Structure 1
Amino acid sequence: MENEGNLSTTKDSLLKSVVGDTKMNTGNTSIHDLSDNHMVAILVRLPVKTIVHCKCVCRDWLNLITDSHFINLHLTESPEYFMLLDDCTNSLRLLDIQEEDGANHLHHDPIMSLNLNLAPIFQNAQLFVDGSVNGLICLTGSDGTSDMAYICNPITREYMILPKQIDSTECNIVNSYGFGVSSLTGEYKVMRVIQTIRTSQAVPAADVYTLGTGQWRRLGHLAYFIYGHRGTFLNNHFHWHICDYEDTLEKICTFDIDNEKFQLFPSPPLDLEEDIHFERMMGVVKGCLCYSYYTFCEFTMWVMKVYGIKNSWQKEVLINQNICPNLRWSLNMHFVPIGSLKDGRFLMMYDQGKLFVYHPDTSTTQETEFSDVDAISYRPSFLKLQTFESESVHKFLR
């Protein structure tokens, strides 16, 4: 009975932290008087770290949080975080956005880290983050003989290994990946574009893997080469830069996740000088597609304000050595837009894994404590990988 008393105290203290002492002190209201629907309405609004702790309080809460109704409702409420893949520790680290003194700050709680080395297959592996949707992350790498792809949910501490891919053992292969979910069918798909280098006969090809099917499908060949190791997913489409665009005005191609077709897409109105650039990246900021490039110690980012409308592209960010001399400028710098903060600033990555924040109103930058990382925008979820039938799901060891 003593354990039951401690459990009740733990429940009530958590509830007070959410609804406040005033409501709790009205009459003889107890947490046990709340219906499941009321408890779900409370739990779904808690920070993800608190929800994880609540799963350990009692079996009733565990059942509520792992139920499909809660999982789907939480997906609609889950705020934006950032996820880091730390190369030094081989771990996934959740970055929270906290408001202090009227400004947004990036915060990392070590408790919300996942050491990938706890799974033998990831030990000493060189991994890349190639997309995230609904709390699931697509990781890619090599097992020493061929390219591999994995789907991981760091919140539920689950992962699955996708089958070895078609032509994955061929030499001189350069792969680009994308990961997304159809808003029509709910199917999750991993996209892979294969490009052979150092051969004049090279023709890019595309494969797709639908989670739950157990096999890759070859879609056919592409009409153009693409640039970048991951496709940007937005509005049911993957987006890539294209490399061989001498005969077309558009520099972007898309892949429709539903009809599985490639097509050209309206690109920013670049002039000839802007068209000669070294590093090109795509991303999503404030829910809009962005196109960025770096050339001659200057970084430029365009944002498409209305999706699919060419004349809605606007030049949002221009960073150069005169504006931001504190950055370590070089001719081969690598800028990647990661996302935006609530106060209007942009989170970006440069110089192979250093994070910094850019304030467009003042044209100033602020470096962060995070380096040697890959970063993506991330919305945590409790989506279970067991949802996908025929997939072998593994748990990270504690």
Structure 2
Amino acid sequence: MDIPPDLLQEIFIRLPCKDVVVSKCVCRSWYNLLSHPHFTANYTINSPFTAVFSDHLNPKSFSLLQLGQNGGLIPTPINPKLPGYPAEKLDSNNSDLQFIGTRNGLLFLLLRIRSRNRTIEKIYFFDPIFDECVEIVENKVAGAEFGYEYTIGYVPEIETYKILRFVYDDNQQVLRAKILSVGVDHDWRILEDPFTLLFPLSNGISFKGFHHWVSTNPNLDWICTFGLLDEKCSGIPKPRELKQLSHEKMNLRVLNNDRFSLIDVSVWGEITIWTMEEYGVADSWSKNVISCFSINGFPWELRRSDYHIITAFPNEDILLSQKGGTTFFYISSERKQSTKVEIPDKSSSMTNATAFVPRFYRIKEDSTSGVLH
């Protein structure tokens, strides 16, 4: 008896990522169903699992973790195979591999190869579900730089990724910035628009073709944006009730892959989630305050600066990670309960943990401009 496609989807979205990938091998109809971008979108919205990408310090390694709402954890070690660069070279003092972002089910990795007079930087698109890695662009840096930062965004209007690279001085002022459209530009282009107010970019997110940041300038009344299509700086209004933005105590997130949110931990004992119901409209911000005092088992041993909010869910649950530790905390707003989840390898502390949206079609099946070129 044939199972209706709608029922099959309901079954598959309840499976962990690894089981979905195995299911693609059963028959052609299942392969076609699970390879379609619509299934990836449904899985993102309805799956009971939360995928988290983390990198670790000792040894330098990566993991893909799937957490269930019951506190269960499914870990998968990740060992990217970089085209043309043997894995044993990564263990040398002259090179290192860094995670610089994620978008559309891909991880963006930066390989830095240092020599006496210059540094070569290579950026890769990596799909951890199918263990596929593609080199996208190379950048050569002559001499020393005090600081640099990469960020990557997606422009839905033209289905293209764009990569931004910033160099800044010891006062955190942007010295220069350049941009490259993947698969379109043959070389980096210099950006003329001033970026001083946008730095640092570490709390930024990409959404609807814009990059968003909370500035270090406390006097700004808006969230800074950079339009990836027109390559201009602008801003969107902060919540009217919010007196002041804080780069250190507020994080921007995209909930459920479609809702722009600001998560505020500036008040001790509270986590406030501001959600913009209609993107760009000042009066559409909604507010939800979660009192940590009402959460049974909340990790009070952590100071506010010691945990990182990975993501918040449409049902108002929150996932925290311990900075530099080996622990996640799943906060259920409905059950008023905190569940502690330890990663298996306690000898390796997390340096970064990021919510990850998996996809179930290969890089070679991606029609996005530049991914295959």
Check whether TM > 0.5.
yes
Q: Indicate the residue corresponding to 1:139 in structure 2.
A: 109
Q: Indicate the residue corresponding to 1:355 in structure 2.
A: 328
The 8 Å contact of residues 336 and 350 in structure 1, kept in 2 or not, is answered as no
Q: 2:152 aligns with which of 146, 154, 178?
A: 178
Q: Distance in 2 between matches of 1:41 and 1:115?
A: 35
Matched, 1:83 2:52: yes
Matched, 1:379 2:361: no
Q: Measure how far apart 1:364 and its partner are.
A: 4.3
The 8 Å contact of residues 253 and 262 in structure 2, kept in 1 or not, is answered as yes
Q: Measure how far apart 1:265 and its partner are.
A: 1.1
Q: Indicate the residue corresponding to 2:346 in structure 1.
A: none
Q: Distance in 1 between matches of 2:106 and 2:371?
A: 15
Q: Measure how far apart 1:284 and its partner are.
A: 1.6
Inter-CA distance 320–216: structure 2 relative to 1 (3 Å threshold): farther
Matched, 1:218 2:190: yes
Task: Map Cα deviations across residues 291-337 of structure 1 (whole Å, 9 max, x no partner).
Answer: 23444755643322322122332332445679676333336334224
Q: Secondary structure at the match of 2:204?
A: strand
Q: 1:328 aligns with which of 268, 293, 301?
A: 301
Q: Measure how far apart 1:123 and its partner are.
A: 3.8
Q: Distance in 2 between matches of 1:166 and 1:269?
A: 45
- Higher-Rg member (1/2): 1
Q: 1:253 aligns with which of 201, 220, 224?
A: 224
Q: 2:124 aligns with which of 136, 141, 150?
A: 150
The 8 Å contact of residues 294 and 336 in structure 2, kept in 1 or not, is answered as no
Letter in 2 for 1:205: A
Letter in 1 for 2:51: F
Q: Measure how far apart 1:263 and its partner are.
A: 0.8
Q: 1:242 aligns with which of 207, 215, 219?
A: 215
The 8 Å contact of residues 84 and 375 in structure 1, kept in 2 or not, is answered as yes
| Percent identity of equivalent pairs | 14
Letter in 1 for 2:273: W
Q: Indicate the residue corresponding to 2:163 in structure 1.
A: 191
Q: Measure how far apart 1:245 and its partner are.
A: 5.3
Q: Distance in 2 between matches of 1:127 and 1:201?
A: 23
Q: Measure how far apart 1:391 and its partner are.
A: 6.5
Q: Distance in 1 between matches of 2:369 and 2:190?
A: 21
Structure 2 counterparts to residues 27-38 of structure 1, below 5 A: none
Q: Indicate the residue corresponding to 1:282 in structure 2.
A: 252
Q: Secondary structure at the match of 1:74?
A: helix
Letter in 2 for 1:52: V
Deviates more, 1:255-264 or 1:380-389: 380-389
Matched, 1:302 2:273: yes
Q: Secondary structure at the match of 1:229?
A: coil
Inter-CA distance 186–389: structure 2 relative to 1 (3 Å threshold): closer
Structure 1 residue runs without a partner (length 5+): 1-22, 25-33, 98-103, 394-398
Deviates more, 1:88-97 or 1:117-126: 117-126
Q: Indicate the residue corresponding to 1:292 in structure 2.
A: 263
The 8 Å contact of residues 72 and 341 in structure 2, kept in 1 or not, is answered as no
Inter-CA distance 162–327: structure 2 relative to 1 (3 Å threshold): farther
Q: Secondary structure at the match of 1:208?
A: strand
Q: Secondary structure at the match of 2:305?
A: coil
The 8 Å contact of residues 266 and 310 in structure 1, kept in 2 or not, is answered as yes
Q: Measure how far apart 1:161 and its partner are.
A: 2.4
Letter in 2 for 1:132: R
**How many equivalent residue pairs?**
341
Q: Distance in 1 between matches of 2:252 and 2:355?
A: 12
The 8 Å contact of residues 132 and 376 in structure 1, kept in 2 or not, is answered as no
The 8 Å contact of residues 52 and 354 in structure 2, kept in 1 or not, is answered as yes
Structure 2 residue runs without a partner (length 5+): 344-348
The 8 Å contact of residues 163 and 215 in structure 1, kept in 2 or not, is answered as no
Q: 2:87 aligns with which of 120, 127, 134?
A: 120
Task: Map Cα deviations across residues 141-200 of structure 1 (whole Å, 9 max, x no partner).
Answer: 5334355432111122111223233758641123141332x333222x143251412258
Higher relative helix content: 1
Tell me the TM-score normalised to structure 2 length.
0.72
Letter in 2 for 1:83: V
Q: Measure how far apart 1:45 and its partner are.
A: 6.4
Q: Distance in 1 between matches of 2:299 and 2:171?
A: 42
Inter-CA distance 93–347: structure 2 relative to 1 (3 Å threshold): same
Letter in 1 for 2:231: E
Inter-CA distance 128–121: structure 2 relative to 1 (3 Å threshold): farther
Q: Measure how far apart 1:225 and its partner are.
A: 3.0
Deviates more, 1:253-262 or 1:165-174: 165-174
Letter in 1 for 2:274: V
The 8 Å contact of residues 305 and 314 in structure 1, kept in 2 or not, is answered as yes
Q: Measure how far apart 1:271 and its partner are.
A: 5.3
Inter-CA distance 216–381: structure 2 relative to 1 (3 Å threshold): farther
The 8 Å contact of residues 250 and 262 in structure 2, kept in 1 or not, is answered as yes
Task: Map Cα deviations across residues 248-289 of structure 1 (whole Å, 9 max, x no partner).
Answer: 422x112233333221111133655x5567343211224322
The 8 Å contact of residues 278 and 293 in structure 1, kept in 2 or not, is answered as no
The 8 Å contact of residues 44 and 73 in structure 1, kept in 2 or not, is answered as no
Q: Measure how far apart 1:95 and its partner are.
A: 0.8
Tell me the TM-score normalised to structure 1 length.
0.69
The 8 Å contact of residues 285 and 339 in structure 1, kept in 2 or not, is answered as yes
The 8 Å contact of residues 293 and 301 in structure 1, kept in 2 or not, is answered as yes
